[in-house]
Amino acid sequence: MKHHLIPVVLTAAGLFFSASLSFAAGEKTDAPQAVSSKANAVPIIIHNNTTTKRKATANIKLVDINTAKKQELKKLPGISDAEADKMIAGRPFGSKTWLVTKNIIPMKTYQAVKGKIICKLTKKDIDKIEAQAARKNKKP
């Protein structure tokens, strides 16, 4: 019973402490502020760009590195013919980061394309990766 009580007490103390800090920050009035009447008040309009960013990213078609054709891979920033050929030859990839760990593309190029690519795996791909790992582990 004592072991269950300690985390609960610590959590409650942490919540109380953080609530008191946020309350104190809300009441802080060090700098004098100009007093304005409601008639003279100008409404502040804040534009929220998060919805436009979401729409922009939703329209981007992600490239699957396990199934994309050479032409699709070459459209990615920094991907040359040779790198596209390496990507096709090195398939299937277990994740996007395998492009760097298998020395297919340099880290700088990966940083440029990581938001534009995905790595989908089929059952066949998983079986192939497992078979490659088994062969690798079998070698003396």
- Domain-wise residue ranges, the chain: 59-138
Mean pLDDT of the chain: 78
Tens digit of each residue's pLDDT (9 = 90 or more) over 52-105: 555 555 567 899 999 999 999 999 999 999 999 999 999 999 999 999 999 999
Confidence (pLDDT) at 56: 52
Look at the domain 59-138 and name its fold. DNA polymerase; domain 1 (1.10.150)
Confidence (pLDDT) at 138: 79
Confidence (pLDDT) at 53: 54
Q: Taking the CB of residue 84, how many other CB atoms lie within 10 A of it?
A: 21
Q: pLDDT band for position 135 (50/70/90)?
A: confident
Confidence (pLDDT) at 26: 54
Task: Answer yes or no: is pLDDT of 33 > 70.
Answer: no
More confident residue, 109 or 30: 109
Question: What are the start-end ranges of the H helices in 28-102?
Answer: 50-59, 70-74, 81-89, 98-101
Confidence (pLDDT) at 31: 47
Q: Any idea of the CA torsion for 87, 136, 101, 106, to the nearest 10 degrees?
A: -50
Q: Give the integer Cα–Cα distance in Å for 72 and 104.
A: 16
Please give the structure tokens belonging to residue 22. 């946020």
Q: Which helix (H) or strand (E) holds 118?
A: strand 117-118
pTM of the complete model:
0.54
Give the rounded percent of residues in the chain with a pLDDT score beyond 90: 44
